[in-house]
A and B are shown apart, each in its own frame.
Chain A
């Protein structure tokens, strides 16, 4: 090792022949603060959301890319998208509606199940895609630097396109049942749909981020997530109404943030539900907590997962 003095030299001394070295005096005001500091320690609350905003174009481009690749360049892509919830709904209608005969608050079982399925499939596919985001894009992250949060956010947004298609499909059936006059009563609460969608998006982002960071170290979390999502569906009033739950268990149901989402959705489009404003507030609070937890865990891992994954 050479003596330290070699290291202490100041750059300008070593570049005598170029004239490329920036002037010292005049430009001094231009340089006030460091714009970026890469440090070994980062505060846990430093999510760098400003950076995320700067890369908003990238988020949209990723969404566009996903859209192009899944829907434009495949033949069956969009068709499959409507077929999947349709078939699921048919199965639910037969099994839970006809065989088990779960009461559906007097709503035709087909739209009842379809409303639940459409909401749930958005949530579940957002979570499962977000949870593998770091592992699947490892190669890219290793080579290109952009805020890692861009990826999960764009995934959640890509799924919104899918949701929009499935939701329109649901509307077609809804209109049919309204015309049939089968006790379905869409109402002004429909206007809250954007809020509901935002709620689901934030919730799925939060849950996905919690898994994503940790899954870089523990791959079994991926399987666990897939399985957990299945169980979670049965803990959410997708195939049954909350009104079937005994009063003393209702509180625990309200803690599941998806309960209020699905029930509010049903209230708005089908006209019947037993969701209370208190449930909605509880759900919102839990969602915010989950999002924060997700952000914390994700930002903790994003700087080091390249070394450990």
Chain B
């Protein structure tokens, strides 16, 4: 892939069980993709539960979803898509040599972590509003109308799905911060940039999960 790649890599970057940097990069990319395929099924289990109960209780899921704020969900969607853009630019600049691309790499990684944190901050205010409104499942759950029990089911799925997504995002922010600190020390260049690349794959996957959660949770039966 690295057409201008020289085989004289830094000793510390090329693990001894690989022939060259290109093979090492291909192996780590494949490894991350296999991990992400297992992650699809990890979220897929909860999404299947959602699909079953939405088909069993369509009216209750619409009523429960209408208590979520579409504007907050839409703003967070754009924030996360924006973080994917800066992450893609980070991976692009990691493959370039020179101090200018290093500055661009560190800057875009910092921007990615910042946008991820903005998402979590917005999510936190949304969570506390839902708790205050009595929409957290459990003894304190209050829901007006005839659909209280299935609405509690909807909010169980809401907190599990968005909570697991937020956990993934928090881990992603931590990893991006570590990669940014290493990038600031000039660790990555055209020859060796694997960690930036696979961190990017993970980050975009977390974005893809939200791309599905947003319509499933916020837009159910909004048009009635």
| A interacts with B | no
Interfacial residues, chain A to chain B (CB-CB below 8 A): none
Interfacial residues, chain B to chain A (CB-CB below 8 A): none
